[in-house]
């Protein structure tokens, strides 16, 4: 048996002020691969500001050295996310904002060079929101999964939005909790799905509660930026837990008890945007500083909370696709049945390793959860494999190269969901084989 392990490099993120000061690293959470691409090995001079084209979407000015098609795609995605920010915080609209700067670079070297020319240090970061004489959101694309790029953009994009609408002094638990809330969002058929509960993070918070290691409510809500960053850099369990727990508190304030706290939570945000400190804003909005009853209701919510079945299916097809690519050989070709895929991943000992706030994590093909999902009727189902359609002659002409004679991998399908989840494959405009999650509508039974 070989050991087929896909190691994903640690991707950190943060924000910087005008002096280029970066709070200690935090690591963006990542579960699986959506877009597979390995950059060319030859050395290429890093691109800087003079090498970037400019593309204007509805809410962003995209400074990029990607192709126009790629820039348009990322810009359209972030427009949807920004519109979701605005909708959820419509009480804070204030003055109409000019399009925000988004620096979307091809490589990590381009990212570092561009930030240096902007006057910021991007060392150890996977994406930043910076402000000062110039403000912007920046990350790069190559060498990391596309869904991680989107998670970075959504997380740091919220920090950018919050800075403009709520100011720079937002309590750190709230700023990070809301950023995590939007980081977990997914775009399905041009609509942003928020309020998604991830099963793994939910389990982590539940374990902390069960073992009496959860962070006390008042302690978390009054954590300073310096304390927060200290926990992250020290490597103690709280460094990761504070992100997950803040995220679930935000989720509860927005969705818990049938939206009972949504209005007062909005009032709290308005108070903060008007310059109130956390204590004053909380008392004015909630009518008390006693968080004990609120914490008890949160614990009740935590016990009843359920992972989002749809997003769990999306996550699992991405893990399976990563394993499919990693265990491929020319001799064996692609698996033709889902059972064959499962056997191959387990025989090869496929693992996907990544870093998050809690340290090194490993997802293993030996875990049976990856091979099933729960459909809209509450039934557990196995994924299916279907043949991926061969590109048309017109589609082949549209690409600049690539081995079109090589068969595309099979499509992974999660049926019984509305819409269905398909992880399918195609050649991009440069001829590379890429994987994308798509959502065709389920066929109606006659």
Query: Do 272 and 321 fall into the same domain?
Result: no
Query: Do 58 and 140 fall into the same domain?
Result: yes
Q: Report the b/e string of 369-403 with b at 16+ CB within 10 A.
A: ebbebbbeeeeeeebebeebeebeeeeeeebeebe
Query: Do 155 and 56 fall into the same domain?
Result: yes
Of 304, 322, 356, which residue is a domain's last? Answer: 304
Q: What is the pLDDT of residues 306-330, one digit of tens each?
A: 999 999 999 899 899 989 988 999 9
Query: Do 21 and 54 fall into the same domain?
Result: yes
Q: What is the pLDDT of residue 444?
A: 47
The number of residues making up the chain comes to: 446
- 186: in domain: no
Both structure tokens of 425: 């494959």
Asked if residue 64 lies in contact with residue 53, where contact means CB atoms within 8 angstroms, the answer is yes
Q: What is the pLDDT of residue 386?
A: 96
Looking up residue 68, the CATH number of its domain turns out to be 3.40.30
- The count of structural domains within the chain is 3
Q: What is the pLDDT of residue 71?
A: 93
Query: Do 102 and 214 fall into the same domain?
Result: no
Of 252, 277, 304, which residue is a domain's last? Answer: 304
Q: What is the pLDDT of residue 354?
A: 65
Q: What is the pLDDT of residue 36?
A: 38
Query: Do 318 and 348 fall into the same domain?
Result: yes
pLDDT grade, residue 165 (50/70/90)?
confident
Q: What is the pLDDT of residue 2?
A: 55
Q: What is the pLDDT of residue 362?
A: 85
Give, for 55, the enclosing helix (H) or strand (E): strand 53-56
Q: Report the b/e string of 140-167 with b at 16+ CB within 10 A.
A: bbbebbbbbbbbbbbbbbbbbbbbbbbe
- Residue 167 φ/ψ, nearest 5 degrees: 90, 180
Give, for 233, the enclosing helix (H) or strand (E): helix 225-234
- 405: in domain: yes
Q: What is the pLDDT of residues 229-257, one digit of tens each?
A: 898 888 788 988 999 999 999 999 999 98
Name which of 89, 123, 129, 94 is nearest 108 in CA terms: 123
Q: What is the pLDDT of residue 94?
A: 54
Q: What is the rounded CA–CA span in Å between residue 89 and residue 250?
A: 14
- 184: in domain: no
- 292: in domain: yes
Question: Residue 223: which domain range?
Answer: 199-304
Of residues 399 and 231, more confidently modeled: 231
Query: Do 259 and 319 fall into the same domain?
Result: no
- 20: in domain: yes
- 176: in domain: no
pLDDT grade, residue 403 (50/70/90)?
low
Of 147, 168, 189, which residue is a domain's last? Answer: 168
pLDDT grade, residue 44 (50/70/90)?
low
Query: Do 163 and 254 fall into the same domain?
Result: no
Q: What is the pLDDT of residues 286-309, one digit of tens each?
A: 999 999 998 999 999 999 999 999
Name which of 83, 370, 311 is nearest 188 in CA terms: 311
Query: Do 123 and 212 fall into the same domain?
Result: no
Query: Do 66 and 145 fall into the same domain?
Result: yes
Q: What is the pLDDT of residue 169?
A: 82
Asked if residue 385 lies in contact with residue 336, where contact means CB atoms within 8 angstroms, the answer is yes
Q: What is the pLDDT of residues 19-33, one digit of tens each?
A: 444 443 333 322 222
Asked if residue 168 lies in contact with residue 272, where contact means CB atoms within 8 angstroms, the answer is no
Would the pLDDT of 151 be above 90? Answer: no
- 183: in domain: no
Annotate 236-265 with three-state secondary structure.
Answer: CCHHHHHHHHHHHHHHHHHHHHHHCCHHHH
- 337: in domain: yes
Query: Do 233 and 159 fall into the same domain?
Result: no
Query: Do 281 and 408 fall into the same domain?
Result: no
Q: What is the pLDDT of residues 79-120, one digit of tens each?
A: 999 999 988 888 775 556 789 999 999 999 999 999 999 999
């Amino acid at each position: 048996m070989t050991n087929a392990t896909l190691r994903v490099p640690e991707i950190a993120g943060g924000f910087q002020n005008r002096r280029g000061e970066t709070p200690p690293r935090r690591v963006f959470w990542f579960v699986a691969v959506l877009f597979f691409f390995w950059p060319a090995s030859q050395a290429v001079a890093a691109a800087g500001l003079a090498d970037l084209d400019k593309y204007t979407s509805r809410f962003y000015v995209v400074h990029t050295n990607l192709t126009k098609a790629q820039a348009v795609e990322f810009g359209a995605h972030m427009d949807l996310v920004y519109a979701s920010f605005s909708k959820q915080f419509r009480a804070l609209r204030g003055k109409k904002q000019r399009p925000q700067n988004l620096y979307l670079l091809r490589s990590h070297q381009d990212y570092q060079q561009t930030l240096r020319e902007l006057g910021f240090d991007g060392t150890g970061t996977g994406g930043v929101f910076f402000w000062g004489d110039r403000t912007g959101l920046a990350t790069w694309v190559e060498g990391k999964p596309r869904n991680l790029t989107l998670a970075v953009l959504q997380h740091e994009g919220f920090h950018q939005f919050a800075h403009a609408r709520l100011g720079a002094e937002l309590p750190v638990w709230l700023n990070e909790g809301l950023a995590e809330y939007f980081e977990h969002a997914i775009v399905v058929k041009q609509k942003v799905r928020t309020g998604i509960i991830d099963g793994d993070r939910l389990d982590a918070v539940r374990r902390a509660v069960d073992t009496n290691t959860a962070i006390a409510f008042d302690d978390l809500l009054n954590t300073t930026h310096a304390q927060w960053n200290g926990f992250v850099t020290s490597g103690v369990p709280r460094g990761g837990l504070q992100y997950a727990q803040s995220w679930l508190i935000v989720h509860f304030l927005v969705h818990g008890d049938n939206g009972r706290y949504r209005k007062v939570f909005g009032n709290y945000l308005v108070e903060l945007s008007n310059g109130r400190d956390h204590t004053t804003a909380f008392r004015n909005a909630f009518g008390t500083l006693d968080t004990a009853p609120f914490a008890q209701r949160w614990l009740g919510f935590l016990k009843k909370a359920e992972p989002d079945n749809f997003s769990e299916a999306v996550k699992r097809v991405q893990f399976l696709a990563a394993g499919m690519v990693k265990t491929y050989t020319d001799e064996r070709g692609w698996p033709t049945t889902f059972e064959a895929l499962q056997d191959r991943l387990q025989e090869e000992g496929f693992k996907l390793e990544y870093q998050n706030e809690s340290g090194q994590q490993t997802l293993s093909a030996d875990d049976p959860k990856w091979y099933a999902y729960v459909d809209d009727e509450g039934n557990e189902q196995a994924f299916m494999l279907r043949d991926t359609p061969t590109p048309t002659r017109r589609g082949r002409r549209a690409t600049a190269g690539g081995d079109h004679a090589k068969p595309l991998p099979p499509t992974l399908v999660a049926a019984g969901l509305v819409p269905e989840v398909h992880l399918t494959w195609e050649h991009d405009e440069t001829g590379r084989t890429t994987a994308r999650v798509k959502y065709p509508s389920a066929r109606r039974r006659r």
